[in-house]
Amino acid sequence: MMKKTRLSFSSLKIDEKDKKENKIPVHNTPHGYIKGPARQSAGGEYKKKITKSSTYQYTQKRFGKSSSSRPFGGKNQYKISSGKIPPPDKGVIRIIPLGGVEEIGKNMTAIEIGDDIILIDAGMHFSNELTPGVDYVIPNTTYLEERKDKIRALFITHGHLDHIGGVPLVLSRIGNPPVYSRNLSMLMMKKRQAEFPHLPALKENLVEKDSVVTCGKIKVRFFGVTHTIPDSMGVIIETEHGWIVNPGDYKLDQVDGVVSKEEEKEYSIFDKAKILLLMTDSTNIENEGFSLPEIKVHQGLENLIKKIPGRIIIAAFSSHITRLAHIVKVAEALGKKIAIDGRSMKTNIEVAIEAGFFAPKKGTIIPLEETNNYPPNKIVVLMTGAQGEEFAALNRAANKSNAKFSLHKGDTIILSASIVPGNELAVVKMRDGLSRQGVRVISYRTAGEDFVHATGHGNQEDVRWLHLKTHPKFFIPIHGNHYRLVLHKELAMELGMSEENIIVPDNGSIIEISADGKKMTMRKEQAPSGAMLVDGTSISDTQDVVIRDRQMLSQDGMFVIIALLDQKTGKLKKSPDLISRGFVYLKENQELLRQVRIIIKNGVENFTTKIPVSSHGGKVVDLDIIKANLGESISKFLYQKTAKRPLVIPVILSV
Ligand SMILES: [Zn+2]
Ligand SMILES: [Zn+2]
Q: What is the pLDDT of residues 17-39, one digit of tens each?
A: 333 333 333 333 333 333 333 33
Which residue type does 194 have? Answer: A
Q: Which ligand is nearest to the CA of 185?
A: 1
Low-confidence winner among 46-60, 123-137, 237-251 (lowest mean pLDDT):
46-60
Say if residue 414's pLDDT is above 50.
Answer: yes
Percent of the chain with pLDDT over 70: 86
3-state secondary structure of 7: coil
For the segment 626-640, what is each residue's pLDDT rounded down to a tens digit?
888 888 899 999 988
Q: Which of these is catalytic: 457, 467, 479, 488?
A: 457
In this predicted structure, what is the pLDDT of residue 604?
86
Nearest to 233 by CA among 301, 184, 297, 176: 184
DSSP annotation string for 32-97: SPBPS-------GGGGGTB-----B-S--TTTSTT----TTS-SS-TTS--TTSPPPPTT-EEEEE
Beta carbons within 10 angstroms of residue 481's beta carbon:
15
In this predicted structure, what is the pLDDT of residue 166?
95
Vertex 284: Cα angle to 281 and 287 (nearest 5): 145
- pTM for the structure as a whole: 0.78
Q: What is the mean pLDDT of residues 74-99?
A: 82
Vertex 60: Cα angle to 54 and 62 (nearest 5): 135
**Euclidean distance between CA atoms 578 and 228, whole angstroms:** 54
Q: Which of these is catalytic: 121, 281, 450, 544?
A: 281
Separation of CA 359 and ligand 1 centre (Å):
24
Low-confidence winner among 123-137, 390-404, 442-456 (lowest mean pLDDT):
123-137
Separation of CA 174 and ligand 1 centre (Å):
24
Which residue type does 72 have? Answer: F
The answer to whether residues 464 and 284 touch, using CB atoms and an 8 Å cutoff, is: no
Percent of the chain with pLDDT over 90: 62
Dihedral (Cα; 602, 608, 613, 614), 10-degree rounding: -170
Separation of CA 208 and ligand 1 centre (Å):
18
Per the annotation, the verdict on 457 as an active-site residue is yes
| CA distances for 139 relative to 105, 124, 156, 394, angstroms | 9, 7, 15, 31
Per the annotation, the verdict on 121 as an active-site residue is no
Separation of CA 160 and ligand 2 centre (Å):
7
Q: What is the mean pLDDT of residues 291-302?
A: 93
Nearest to 423 by CA among 386, 382, 384, 383: 386
In this predicted structure, what is the pLDDT of residue 64?
36
